[in-house]
Amino acid sequence: MTMKLEYTAEQLAFAAEARSWLEANVPKDRLPSMDTEAGFAAHREWEQQLSDGRWSVVSWPAEFGGRDVGLVEWVLFEEEYYRAGAPTRVAQNGISLLAPIIFGHGTPEQQQRWLPGLTDGSIIWAQAWSEPGAGSDLAAIRSTATRDDSRGGWVLNGQKIWSSRAVWADRGFGLFRSDPAAQRHHGLTYYTFPLDAPGITVRAIEQLDGGTGFAEIFFDDVFVPDADVLGGIGDGWRVAMSTAGNERGLSLRAPGRFLAAADNLVALANTSAAAGADISAATRERVAEAWIDAEAYRLFTWHTVSRALVGEEVGSEGSINKVFWSELDRDLHETALELRGAEAEVKTGDHGSWVDDYLFSVAGPIYAGTNEIQRNIIAERILGLPRGDRRKN
């Protein structure tokens, strides 16, 4: 279908208002990494500031702190957000992955209880999906949920791993096997839980850069009331897949992030050349490719937006998005470090931001379902190729 790339006067006014607010409010100095305690607290304060300006969740209904704007305005805001160099969102898990589930499957009581805390950073959520032996193969999870009629709820046992933001977050969400006799994709239920509940142990996982953006979560007879179950009992797989679609597709990686990074890369190349650096033709070509790919991703996103506006769903094509943006992000930052040369080893000032962003980009082809899994989805569900032999993966 044809993309619509013309904006209305109202949409342009909205973008201008966002740009003005961001220019006045984005911190002049880069916040510390959110994978540290001090950085996490600073990013939580930024969430509050965004909420005070009603820029935290622009596409949400006004009653929950949003501006009731459409998908086009949301993408425009994201472009302005990254162009302004605004901090990475510590509330991203909750806003992008959980909130759509709460809107789509939550009860009115759950919406009133959880959504306001998502907008202002007062409740930060950790994603608790992966388990040892069940990462990209989510249906292989073994953590259990056992019915407790006497207390009106469920008892969770097991272990989650690579849980984003779990070290300092307030609550978690994830799948547990509520019917062990059912087939892999059945008998799963979606639960939420406070991370300080009796029986929960959170153990930080130290990363290469010393930060702790991930953690293991151990569940030892953790009670969860019925009121904290999202969606129907045994319906967890369907609920989770709608979340996975958000993570791999449009919402997690809006194009503004890559457009801003590509512009910064071009500026870095120009600055280095002006300073007398000997930049090879191959490196210059990689800089140009990064900018072109970022622009291509922007156009693909607008194509997706155009389809969504007429009621079409992204579906398995979100896997194409995921492979493309994760490899673009990694290649772009590798080129930046190549331009930095020996200075790339120094984590101070601008050097530090490039190194931090590179280390994060390396994880892109792994999280949100590995790119190998995404390529299987593309091959089987989009191209119609025969199912591969999983034993060779």
Catalytic residue numbers, as ranges: 247
Residue 314 near residue 304, CB atoms below 8 Å:
yes
DSSP 348-370: SHHHHHHHHHHHHHHTTTTSSS-
In residues, how long is the chain? 393
Which of 194, 201, 198 lies closest to 216, judged by CA? 201
Using CA atoms, how far apart are residues 252 and 244, in angstroms rounded to an integer? 10
**Residue in 207, 251, 322 with CA at minimum distance from that of residue 99:** 251
- The three-class DSSP label of residue 157 is strand
271-331-36 Cα angle (round to 5)? 85
Token pair recorded at residue 132: 């040892």
- Contact, 308 vs 315, CB < 8 A? no
| Bridge-based pairing state of the strands 171-177 and 125-127 | parallel
Q: What is the DSSP string of 220-277?
A: EEEEEEGGGEES-TTBHHHHHHHHHHHHHSTTTT-HHHHHHHHHHHHHHHHHHHHTT-
* Separation between Cα atoms, residue 282 and residue 298, nearest integer Å: 24
Whole-angstrom Cα distance, residue 23 to residue 127?
A: 31
Rg of the chain, C-alpha, whole Å: 21
Strands 188-194 and 200-205: unpaired
